[in-house]
Structure formats: structure tokens, C-alpha cells
């Protein structure tokens, strides 16, 4: 997932909540300048910012993980894809 796509997802959420950028940053607990630079493509979204986003929007955790995974240079890796599945315990005796 690209940074642009991640920001698009979060911007859709911000608009759905009726929040300004300033309010979004307050809700998430991030610096408004940092977020503005990330939105404009002048700065990468840091792991610290992703952590704050995950605390505020845990329902987007999968998207945040995909963003982190796609940011990793795995050119030497033999695994070409990753599949995340929900962590659900199997019922006893199955």
C-alpha cells in the first residue's frame, strides 16, 4: 500500500467524522505540521505516527500493517506475498 492510498483512507475517515485537519490531529495525537508534510508527500509517515493512528483507529490496523510491509525492501526475500488472517482461536476438539 502506498502512502498516498493510506492518507486517502484516513482522509475519507476524517471527512466522515466531519473533522478539520486540526481536529483530526488532535484526535490522533500527532503534530499538525508532521501530518501536513506527510499528506503533501514531503515526509514519510513515521512508525510513531502509525502507532498513534493505530491507537485511535484500531479498525485500520490491517491497512497500517500492509503499509509497513510494502515499505520494506524485500528484494532478497524468497516470500513474494503475505497473507494476514484473523487471530481466532480454534474451538476445542476441532
Task: For residue 76, tell me if it sits in a domain.
Answer: no
CATH of the domain at 59: 1.10.260
User: Is residue 15 scored above 70 in pLDDT?
Assistant: yes
Task: For residue 84, tell me if it sits in a domain.
Answer: no
Provide the domain limits for residue 51.
3-70
User: Is residue 20 scored above 90 in pLDDT?
Assistant: yes
Distance CA 1, CA 66 (A): 6
User: Is residue 25 scored above 80 in pLDDT?
Assistant: yes
Task: For residue 94, tell me if it sits in a domain.
Answer: no
Average pLDDT over residues 47-55: 93
pLDDT tens digit sequence for 55-88: 999 999 999 888 888 865 544 444 444 444 454 4
Q: How far is CA 75 from CA 14, 24, 28, in A?
A: 35, 36, 33
Q: What total number of domains does the chain contain?
A: 1
pTM for this prediction: 0.71
DSSP conformational letter for 81: -
Task: For residue 78, tell me if it sits in a domain.
Answer: no
Amino acid at each position: 500500500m502506498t502512502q498516498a492510498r493510506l492518507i486517502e483512507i484516513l482522509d475519507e475517515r476524517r471527512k466522515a467524522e466531519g473533522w478539520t485537519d486540526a481536529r483530526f490531529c488532535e484526535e490522533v495525537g500527532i503534530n499538525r505540521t508532521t501530518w501536513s508534510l506527510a499528506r503533501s508527500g514531503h515526509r514519510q509517515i513515521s512508525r510513531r505516527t502509525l502507532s498513534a493512528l493505530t491507537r485511535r483507529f484500531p479498525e485500520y490496523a490491517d491497512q497500517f500493517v500492509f503499509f509497513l510491509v510494502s515499505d520494506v525492501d524485500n528484494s532478497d526475500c524468497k516470500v513474494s506475498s503475505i497473507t494476514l488472517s484473523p487471530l481466532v482461536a480454534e474451538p476445542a476438539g476441532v
